């Protein structure tokens, strides 16, 4: 499968190395742990000694502290009963988590006061019941051991600052806040905005600015150019039939990923109303992976493409710059009209956004697929210009006091602003941070910031809806929220809850506040706070100046937020670090992403070190060859190369160190040269390589109709055999030497809709959090020892210069004829009465025969005591799932703890388990509902109906394992010429 097959040019491949038949990559096909023999290179004599010692000590391995001798772990009587709390049952709190200032609504599951899991809030417009990967991982950052717990003074010691804050407030008030600058992250919170406004009223000389290194301000500035006012732009992809993304990644990580993903897939479920996605981009993104027509273009070409689209639709006069749009694009847009949408991304300059806004207006898309509202983020100056102005003010000596709240400019500001050095020059600086990060290290005082899960507050979703934040546990003493600090500086002593409550008390009608407040806390969203849509028209005298082209000859450089650590704020989260990035599958690192052809020209291979010089600044970093990347440009993922932080320090390279404030997103004139060094990059792209036919399948839209007409019997080569074979428990007539089972009760099964999967990784982390799966570190991952029970396999298909991209979540198949079960010498993996392939940790003696015999490579072995070393304190683990010891095999259980919970609840209520009552962790997190789980013996269940689709197929069905997990082939709408091949 992984080898290039001349007869099947469309064959999928996992890595460039595998495509070229490189021995290094094929090792992963031939063995699950290829370097195992070398890892234990031991002489015969030592081996015999070790074996002897092992046998002698084997008896003691079973010695646990016996129940009788164990020190009594006490049982606890509380002082008083807590209303609503049932011991042993989790409580759920509705709250919001911030990303780029916007809120994402979540429900926090809390066991006996300890948050263990995060789910989406179905009532919240940016969640709709699902979450992204960042939200899932927030649990770990809550328990990060290096969180600040007390105030710190630069150069020495911990001090209490409570008294000093009041003095500080008085001091500020005395001279009207002269020389005071307040630097925050992006703020959407109504109460914090009001709090800062009242602080600024008190201190008229003070100024406030917002900073995010990956802010989306260009989109709003583009609206200012086109419509005359800064407006928020929100996409409704569910109503779009033609989507054109110009260097934009609406399906990629960001505050609106969940809603965009859900909308996009809603427009791709029904073959009769199937949207078409055109993507122009340099670096493959999640959106590009789902594109029907994808064009790798240099970011330098983006303004010209936008202008050509605008010109073709008559929005601007045609320019004579020789840009030719791909055939069919303009016709598609014209035909779709109001159901079309064009979108540009955060890298695009305001001028491009202005063109895009005008195009959408001309198409009639505004109001259907595009919605404009007033800006969600506060109006304080933001972006690179504001930060550059601050730097200039510091140089001029105009800043005598700097307060930094939840921002890290010393790390993530463009290099030429050198905020680290400048902050140190400010006489008084105060920083509110969760960790001793780069900025905190430069500030005179650092106060500990409360985690969002410990905070009172409010955040606006991208559509304006306010989600309340309420603490799921009490913050550690001494920590405070941004709102509290602002109130303290304004001289108020009110606690955070009173500040938030006080703000909303004015917003609700009098007399009804108490009931409304309780309902709002319960729901997590404030009703009726979504912003009204603002009708727009082009500003008179509207004119788009041509954007300034990237300077210099040579390579073009793009900066991009990292899919795992975003702008660097999640770099201290081991779960996110170990989350394989969707396209590169790299973990614990970033790399200079480059097209294979360009790399070949420069003499670079994967993992080769290279020196990148950009306008007098240089960095040394490994390169990573990314198929589908546009030639002659490189992508630098941001967020790595931290100088502080227990986990983040020293990982990857710091792309901010070459970023310039003049060209924060796209820069020209770079020189890339091999440095001669080699870097160890850990990637999972070849791990778990399966050998078989048509592992990941897709069907062209045009052929789907033919298949349906023939009753699902005809497939064609691309559709594979998905129509032919049945994967049901019953009705299987292939002979098998494995025992037959006859199920009377529920038999659990899953269908994974590849047509819905956008590869966002939310399920991977959700599974990790729910099932207490540890992180193992870079070196262990490089040995193939990652522990994720659910992985997403990424396949490339076709030409490495412009391949198609497939995602396939792979978890335990719960085979009806499970090859793992029969080889276990101690019955540690067995079939249960509901068809689950269960793993009995206490029986497991670690032979790893089961893993060796698993064709899907979904079993994970605890080579070390990862659970103890994985960074998650034991008390924070999900109490419903056993922690696994060293030497024990583990794998996906279909969230058996959730099945049991549903079964017990049904039994207590004396009824059968309803369809849809058992929701697995991956299923619950998925923004696009790609997973369906339920009873496959019930023909009416959702999963049975999904499996009845002609698109249903089993992975490696030819092995007759009869997997319980099956896949629905992806539907694509490829261009006509390829359809014929």
Partner 1 sequence: MAQIFPPRSTTIARSILAGIVAAVLVAAVGGYVVTRSDWYWRVGKAEPQPVPFSHLLHAGDLGLDCRYCHTTVERSALAGIPPAQTCLGCHDGLPVGGAALGPLRTAFDTGEPFLWNRVHRVPDHALFHHGIHVSSGVGCATCHGPVEEMPRIAKAGTLSMSWCLDCHREVEPVGPPVTDGDGGLLHPLTDCSRCHR
> Quick check: 739 binds partner 1 (CB under 8 A)?
yes
CB of 804 to partner 1, least distance (A): 39
Span from 328-336, 612-620, 739-747, 956-964 in contact with partner 1 (CB under 8 A): 739-747
CB closer to partner 1, 428 vs 743: 743
CB of 727 to partner 1, least distance (A): 19
Q: Are 503 and 194 in contact (CB under 8 A)?
A: yes
> Quick check: 733 binds partner 1 (CB under 8 A)?
no
Q: Which of 224, 420, 845, 881 binds partner 1 (CB under 8 A)?
A: 881
Residues 602 and 600: their CA atoms lie apart, in Å, by 5
> Quick check: 477 binds partner 1 (CB under 8 A)?
no
> Quick check: 676 binds partner 1 (CB under 8 A)?
no
> Quick check: 56 binds partner 1 (CB under 8 A)?
no
CB closer to partner 1, 534 vs 830: 830
Q: Which residues contact 476 (CB under 8 A, 6 or more apart)?
A: 147, 149, 448, 450, 454
And the tokens for 204? Answer: 């008229």
And the tokens for 732? Answer: 């299987």
In DSSP notation, 889-910 reads: EE---SSHHHHHHHHHHHHHTT
Residues 119 and 103: their CA atoms lie apart, in Å, by 14
Letters for 827-866 (x = contact with partner 1 by CB under 8 A, - = none) are ---xxxxx-x-x-xxx------------------------
Q: Are 789 and 771 in contact (CB under 8 A)?
A: yes
> Quick check: 88 binds partner 1 (CB under 8 A)?
yes
Nearest alpha carbon to residue 563 among 577, 543, 545: 577
Which single residue is written with the structure tokens 């683990």?
877
CB closer to partner 1, 424 vs 901: 901
Span from 76-84, 338-346, 593-601, 672-680 in contact with partner 1 (CB under 8 A): 76-84
CB of 80 to partner 1, least distance (A): 4
Residues 395 and 399: their CA atoms lie apart, in Å, by 8
> Quick check: 63 binds partner 1 (CB under 8 A)?
no
- CA contacts within 13 A on the Cβ side of 405: 24
Size of site (CB under 8 A) for partner 1: 47
Residues 863 and 791: their CA atoms lie apart, in Å, by 19
Span from 72-80, 281-289, 322-330, 800-808 in contact with partner 1 (CB under 8 A): 72-80
Q: Are 120 and 483 in contact (CB under 8 A)?
A: no
Residues 845 and 118: their CA atoms lie apart, in Å, by 33
Looking at the DSSP bridge assignments, the partners of residue 340 are 242
CB of 730 to partner 1, least distance (A): 14
Alpha carbon separation from 32 to 27, 228, 789 (Å, rounded):
8, 59, 15
Q: How many CB atoms lie within 10 A of CB 175?
A: 12
Q: Which of 78, 320, 396, 541 binds partner 1 (CB under 8 A)?
A: 78
Residues 78 and 75: their CA atoms lie apart, in Å, by 10
CB closer to partner 1, 599 vs 839: 839
> Quick check: 519 binds partner 1 (CB under 8 A)?
no
Residues 303 and 300: their CA atoms lie apart, in Å, by 7
Looking at the DSSP bridge assignments, the partners of residue 592 are 623
Q: Which of 7, 89, 320, 733 binds partner 1 (CB under 8 A)?
A: 89
CB closer to partner 1, 510 vs 735: 735
CB closer to partner 1, 73 vs 324: 73
CB closer to partner 1, 330 vs 830: 830
Q: Which of 455, 893, 920, 923 binds partner 1 (CB under 8 A)?
A: 893
Residues 878 and 632: their CA atoms lie apart, in Å, by 48
> Quick check: 821 binds partner 1 (CB under 8 A)?
no
> Quick check: 55 binds partner 1 (CB under 8 A)?
no
Q: Which of 522, 710, 900, 911 binds partner 1 (CB under 8 A)?
A: 900
Span from 51-59, 67-75, 257-265, 371-379 in contact with partner 1 (CB under 8 A): 67-75
DSSP class of residue 15?
-
Residues 636 and 655: their CA atoms lie apart, in Å, by 6
Which single residue is written with the structure tokens 């291979």?
605
CB of 948 to partner 1, least distance (A): 24
> Quick check: 740 binds partner 1 (CB under 8 A)?
yes
Span from 201-209, 473-481, 575-583, 897-905 in contact with partner 1 (CB under 8 A): 897-905
Phi and psi angles of residue 932, each rounded to the nearest 5 degrees, phi first: -125, 130
And the tokens for 491? Answer: 């001289």
> Quick check: 981 binds partner 1 (CB under 8 A)?
no
Taking only Cα atoms into account, the Rg of the chain, rounded to an integer number of angstroms, comes to: 28
Span from 514-522, 547-555, 699-707, 892-900 in contact with partner 1 (CB under 8 A): 892-900
Looking at the DSSP bridge assignments, the partners of residue 556 are 633
Alpha carbon separation from 822 to 312, 677, 739, 846, 853 (Å, rounded):
65, 47, 10, 15, 9
Nearest alpha carbon to residue 107 among 90, 96, 119, 89: 119
> Quick check: 79 binds partner 1 (CB under 8 A)?
yes
Q: Which of 86, 272, 477, 980 binds partner 1 (CB under 8 A)?
A: 86
CB closer to partner 1, 650 vs 739: 739
Q: Are 462 and 126 in contact (CB under 8 A)?
A: yes
CB closer to partner 1, 684 vs 893: 893
Q: Which of 62, 74, 155, 735 binds partner 1 (CB under 8 A)?
A: 74
Q: Are 560 and 249 in contact (CB under 8 A)?
A: no
DSSP class of residue 449?
B
CB of 236 to partner 1, least distance (A): 41
Span from 405-413, 420-428, 541-549, 904-912 in contact with partner 1 (CB under 8 A): 904-912
Q: What angle do CA 927, 930, 935 make, to 5 degrees?
A: 125
CB closer to partner 1, 67 vs 511: 67
CB of 943 to partner 1, least distance (A): 19
> Quick check: 708 binds partner 1 (CB under 8 A)?
no
> Quick check: 178 binds partner 1 (CB under 8 A)?
no
Longest dimension (CA), the chain: 89
CB closer to partner 1, 89 vs 532: 89
CB of 844 to partner 1, least distance (A): 11
Sheet bearing 457-460, strands edge to edge: 457-460, 466-469, 525-526
CB of 890 to partner 1, least distance (A): 11
Q: Are 295 and 308 in contact (CB under 8 A)?
A: no
Q: Which of 8, 153, 678, 907 binds partner 1 (CB under 8 A)?
A: 907
CB of 880 to partner 1, least distance (A): 7
Q: Which of 897, 919, 938, 974 binds partner 1 (CB under 8 A)?
A: 897
Looking at the DSSP bridge assignments, the partners of residue 622 are 609
Q: Which of 896, 902, 925, 955 binds partner 1 (CB under 8 A)?
A: 896
And the tokens for 505? Answer: 């008390």
> Quick check: 60 binds partner 1 (CB under 8 A)?
no
CB closer to partner 1, 193 vs 837: 837
Q: Which residues contact 69 (CB under 8 A, 6 or more apart)?
A: none
> Quick check: 882 binds partner 1 (CB under 8 A)?
yes
Span from 78-86, 223-231, 360-368, 772-780 in contact with partner 1 (CB under 8 A): 78-86
CB closer to partner 1, 242 vs 883: 883
E strands, 141-247, in order:
152-153, 180-184, 207-210, 232-235, 242-246
Residues that bind partner 1 (CB under 8 A): 66-68, 70, 72-81, 86-89, 739-745, 830-834, 836, 838, 840-842, 880-883, 893, 896-897, 899-900, 904, 907-908
């Amino acid at each position: 499968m992984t080898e290039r097959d001349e007869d099947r040019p469309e064959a999928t491949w996992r890595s460039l190395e595998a495509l070229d038949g490189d021995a290094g990559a094929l090792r992963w096909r031939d063995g699950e742990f290829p370097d195992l023999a070398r890892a234990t290179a031991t002489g015969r004599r030592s081996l015999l000694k070790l074996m002897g010692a092992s046998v002698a000590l084997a008896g003691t391995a079973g010695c646990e502290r016996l129940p009788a001798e164990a020190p009594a772990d006490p049982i606890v009587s509380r002082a008083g009963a807590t209303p609503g709390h049932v011991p042993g049952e989790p409580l759920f709190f509705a709250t919001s988590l911030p990303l780029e200032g916007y809120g994402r609504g979540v429900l926090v599951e809390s066991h006996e006061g300890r948050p263990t899991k995060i789910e989406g809030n179905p009532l919240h417009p940016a969640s709709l019941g699902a979450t992204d990967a960042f939200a899932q991982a927030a649990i770990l950052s809550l328990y990060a051991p290096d969180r600040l717990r007390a105030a710190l003074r630069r150069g020495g010691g911990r001090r209490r600052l409570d008294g000093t804050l009041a003095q500080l407030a008085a001091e500020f008030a005395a001279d009207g806040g002269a020389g005071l600058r307040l630097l925050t992250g992006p703020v959407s919170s109504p109460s914090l905005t009001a709090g800062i406004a009242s602080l600024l009223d008190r201190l008229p000389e003070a100024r406030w600015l917002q900073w995010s290194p990956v802010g989306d301000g260009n989109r709003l500035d583009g609206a200012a150019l086109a419509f005359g006012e800064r407006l928020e732009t929100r996409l409704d992809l569910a109503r779009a039939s033609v989507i054109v993304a110009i260097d934009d990644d609406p399906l990629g990580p960001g505050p609106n990923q969940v809603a965009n993903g859900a909308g996009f897939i809603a427009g791709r479920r029904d073959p009769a109303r199937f949207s078409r996605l055109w993507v122009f981009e340099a670096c493959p993104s999640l959106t590009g992976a789902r594109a029907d027509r994808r064009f790798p273009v240099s970011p330098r070409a983006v303004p010209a493409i936008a202008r050509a689209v605008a010109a073709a639709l008559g929005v601007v006069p045609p320019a004579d710059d020789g840009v030719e749009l791909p055939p069919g694009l303009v016709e598609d847009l014209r035909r779709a009209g109001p159901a079309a949408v064009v979108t540009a991304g955060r890298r695009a300059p305001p001028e491009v956004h202005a063109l895009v806004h005008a195009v959408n207006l001309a198409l009639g898309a505004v109001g259907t697929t595009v919605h404009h509202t007033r800006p969600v983020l506060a109006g304080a100056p933001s972006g690179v210009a504001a930060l550059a102005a601050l730097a200039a003010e510091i140089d001029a000596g105009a800043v005598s006091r700097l307060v930094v709240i939840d921002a890290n400019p010393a790390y993530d500001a463009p290099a030429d602003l050198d905020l680290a050095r400048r902050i140190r020059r400010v006489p008084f600086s105060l920083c509110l941070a969760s960790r001793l990060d780069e900025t905190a290290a430069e500030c005179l005082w650092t106060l500990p910031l409360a985690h969002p899960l410990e905070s009172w507050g409010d955040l606006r979703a991208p559509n304006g809806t306010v989600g309340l934040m309420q603490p799921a546990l009490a913050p550690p003493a001494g920590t405070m929220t941004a709102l509290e600090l602002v109130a303290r500086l304004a001289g108020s002593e009110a606690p955070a809850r009173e500040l938030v409550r006080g703000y909303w008390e004015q917003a609700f009608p009098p007399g009804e506040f108490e009931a409304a407040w309780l309902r709002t806390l319960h729901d997590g969203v404030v009703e009726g706070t979504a912003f009204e849509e603002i009708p727009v028209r082009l500003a008179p005298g509207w004119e788009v100046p041509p954007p300034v082209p990237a300077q210099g000859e040579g390579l073009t450089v793009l900066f991009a937020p990292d899919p795992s650590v975003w702008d660097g704020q999640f770099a201290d989260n081991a779960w996110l670090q170990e989350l394989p990035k969707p396209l590169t599958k790299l973990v614990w690192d970033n790399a200079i992403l480059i097209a294979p052809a360009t790399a070949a020209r420069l003499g670079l291979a994967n993992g080769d070190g290279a020196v990148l010089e950009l306008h007098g600044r240089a960095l040394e970093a490994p390169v990573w060859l990314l198929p589908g990347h546009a030639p002659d440009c490189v992508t630098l993922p941001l967020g790595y190369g931290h100088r502080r932080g227990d986990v983040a320090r020293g990982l990857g390279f710091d792309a901010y160190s070459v970023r310039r404030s003049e060209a924060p997103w796209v820069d020209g004139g770079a020189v890339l040269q091999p440095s001669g060094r080699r870097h160890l990059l850990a990637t999972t792209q070849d791990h778990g390589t399966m050998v078989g036919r048509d592992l990941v399948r897709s069907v062209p839209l045009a052929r789907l109709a033919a298949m349906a007409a023939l009753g699902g019997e005809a497939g064609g080569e691309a559709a594979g055999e998905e129509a032919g074979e049945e994967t049901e428990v019953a009705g299987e007539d292939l002979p098998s030497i494995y025992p037959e089972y006859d199920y009377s009760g529920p038999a659990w099964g899953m269908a994974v809709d590849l047509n819905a999967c956008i590869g966002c990784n939310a399920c991977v982390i959700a599974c990790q959090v729910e099932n207490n799966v540890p992180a193992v570190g870079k070196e262990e991952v490089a040995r193939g020892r990652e522990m994720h029970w659910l992985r997403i396999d990424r396949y490339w298909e076709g030409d490495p210069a412009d391949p198609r991209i497939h995602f396939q979540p792979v978890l335990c198949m719960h085979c009806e004829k499970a090859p793992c079960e029969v080889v276990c010498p101690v019955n540690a993996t067995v079939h249960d009465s509901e068809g689950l392939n269960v793993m009995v940790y206490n029986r497991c003696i670690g032979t790893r025969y089961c893993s060796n015999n698993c064709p899907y490579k979904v079993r994970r072995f605890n080579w070390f005591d990862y659970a103890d070393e994985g960074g998650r304190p034991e008390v924070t683990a999900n109490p419903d799932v056993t922690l696994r010891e060293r030497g024990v095999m583990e794998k996906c259980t279909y969230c058996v703890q959730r099945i049991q919970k549903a079964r017990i609840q049904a039994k207590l209520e004396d009824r059968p388990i309803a369809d849809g009552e058992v929701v697995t962790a991956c299923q619950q997190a998925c923004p696009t509902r790609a997973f369906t789980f339920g009873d496959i013996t019930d023909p009416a269940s959702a999963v049975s109906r999904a499996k009845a689709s002609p698109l249903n197929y089993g992975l490696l069905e030819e092995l007759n394992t009869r997997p319980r997990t099956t896949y629905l082939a992806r539907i694509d709408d490829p261009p006509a010429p390829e359809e014929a091949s």
